[in-house]
Structure 1
Amino acid sequence: MSDFPFAIVGFDLDGTLVDSSLDLGVAVNHALSLAGRPPVPAEDVRHLIGGGARKMLERALDRTGGPIAAEDFDPLFASLLTFYADHIADFTRPYDGCLSSLDALSARGVKLAVCTNKVEVLARKLLDELGMTDRFACILGGDSMGPGRGKPQPDMIEEAIRQCGGGRFAMIGDSSFDTGAARAAGVPSVVLSFGFNDMAPADMGGNALIDHFDELVTVLERL
């Protein structure tokens, strides 16, 4: 349908397309155990997520006794990533209504992109294991554009627009990293209230707020 207002729709991954909190929680608690720290309760893991795995581990260490020396952090972070890669989709699943919404957008001729602060190799591995990779014309991770160029920087969105051939773009996400990147890139954003929100969803500065994926296509049609 050529009258759909967006040629490209970009999605964050963790907390937006999929609920990965259980697998991320197991991985971060594995790293904490190696550091001799107590585990973070499962119900608190969501508050650690956002900005990539490095920030997640930093927050977990802060919560369980404070930061550690840089020479100790890097190998601990590597252990977290190795463990997580081995258990990346044990419990992670797409949110209710996610796949049908992606199908509805594709049926309207929309190209779909992933713009996540998860490192690209892990983003692709997760999407592969969930059978979702082929839905996306472009998959970019927090390291794809170089150091320091993940969200909220605009680079990933700008590159996704380039790779998808240009056109009007909307960003879908659950955190201020997503809305910040959208503002920096000069594109509209939709906030999901049910993800790993790092602040009140209504305060993130998105152009729209939804409570379920079933609302997404209709909201995009109105932007």
Structure 2
Amino acid sequence: MTTISFDIVGFDLDGTFIDTSGDLTDAVNHALADAGRPLLTREQVIPMIGGGARHMLRQGMEATGGCDEAELNRLHRLLLDYYEANIAVHSRPFPGAMAALDQLDTDGVKVAIVTNKLEGLALRLLDELDLTRRFGCVIGGDTLGPGKSKPNRAPIDAMIERCGGGRAAFVGDSHFDIDAARNAEIPSIACSFGFMMQPVAELGADAVIDHFDELIPTLARLAP
């Protein structure tokens, strides 16, 4: 039996716990189509995910003809409205994610979501998938106010506080996640199956997993 001595394990949402790439690609393309721009493939959109919807759309616009702030504002609203209405058409937890969650629950470890997705959208997605009740707290990119999303340590600190304090680790797939964990001085685990902006080895995480089956043993190895 694997023993975990962490009290809290936090997860990024998009590209870490849930594969949202299909629905996010559809939302980006809905906005781009309205502007008469070429559409992007899922493979093109994946590296744009992680910094929130506006960041993702800005990169999509830059890849299809340039980004004007006024048009970005207009298309951002279109993207959000479309995405909210179609948030869980394709999105599902990554293989092994639910089993890992079940094991953490059995071991008495509290779990949380810390994402740069808007809190309302994160909760809507989790509600659609009947997952909200599984997490001790859900912290979005706008939960703590401007300038306090990942890689700022503030959302990690808030996660620990809202989950009652204790030893924590964080699981993510981007530099936003790993840098936030590092800034908060807690161990980090990178998911190689996530929405990579760069090679996973370049993230500087304390450990890397290739499948959620590896999460529990990895947490055991990282335990203080």
Where does residue 87 of structure 2 map in the other structure? 88
One-letter amino acid of the structure 2 residue matched with residue 22 of structure 1: G
Alignment gaps of 5+ in structure 1: none
Determine whether 1:65 maps to 2:59: no
Where does residue 199 of structure 1 map in the other structure? 198
Where does residue 179 of structure 1 map in the other structure? 178
Aligned-partner Cα distance in 2 for 1:88–1:172: 22
Where does residue 5 of structure 1 map in the other structure? 5
Where does residue 165 of structure 1 map in the other structure? 164
Aligned-partner Cα distance in 2 for 1:30–1:109: 42
Where does residue 137 of structure 2 map in the other structure? 138
Aligned-partner Cα distance in 2 for 1:189–1:49: 19
Contact 2:174/2:197 (8 A) holds in 1: yes
**Count of residue correspondences:** 221
One-letter amino acid of the structure 2 residue matched with residue 184 of structure 1: N
One-letter amino acid of the structure 1 residue matched with residue 124 of structure 2: K
One-letter amino acid of the structure 2 residue matched with residue 63 of structure 1: A
Aligned-partner Cα distance in 2 for 1:71–1:200: 33
* Equivalent position SS for 1:171: strand
* Equivalent position SS for 2:133: helix
Deviations 1:9-62 (A, max 9, x none): 000000000111010000000000112211012221212212111110000001
One-letter amino acid of the structure 2 residue matched with residue 171 of structure 1: F
Aligned-partner Cα distance in 1 for 2:163–2:132: 15
Contact 2:25/2:42 (8 A) holds in 1: yes
Q: Runs of 4 or more off by more than 2 Å in structure 1? A: none
Aligned-partner Cα distance in 2 for 1:41–1:22: 10
Where does residue 122 of structure 2 map in the other structure? 123
Aligned-partner Cα distance in 2 for 1:49–1:185: 22
Superposed displacement of residue 203, structure 1: 1.1
One-letter amino acid of the structure 2 residue matched with residue 51 of structure 1: G
One-letter amino acid of the structure 1 residue matched with residue 55 of structure 2: K
Where does residue 102 of structure 2 map in the other structure? 103
One-letter amino acid of the structure 2 residue matched with residue 158 of structure 1: D
Alignment gaps of 5+ in structure 2: none
* Equivalent position SS for 2:70: helix
Q: TM-score, normalised by structure 1?
A: 0.97
Where does residue 42 of structure 1 map in the other structure? 42
Deviations 1:112-156 (A, max 9, x none): 000000000000000000111111001000000101211000010
Deviations 1:37-92 (A, max 9, x none): 11012221212212111110000001001111x22221210110000000000000
Where does residue 15 of structure 2 map in the other structure? 15
Aligned-partner Cα distance in 1 for 2:47–2:197: 7
Contact 2:57/2:72 (8 A) holds in 1: no
Superposed displacement of residue 182, structure 1: 0.4
Where does residue 28 of structure 1 map in the other structure? 28
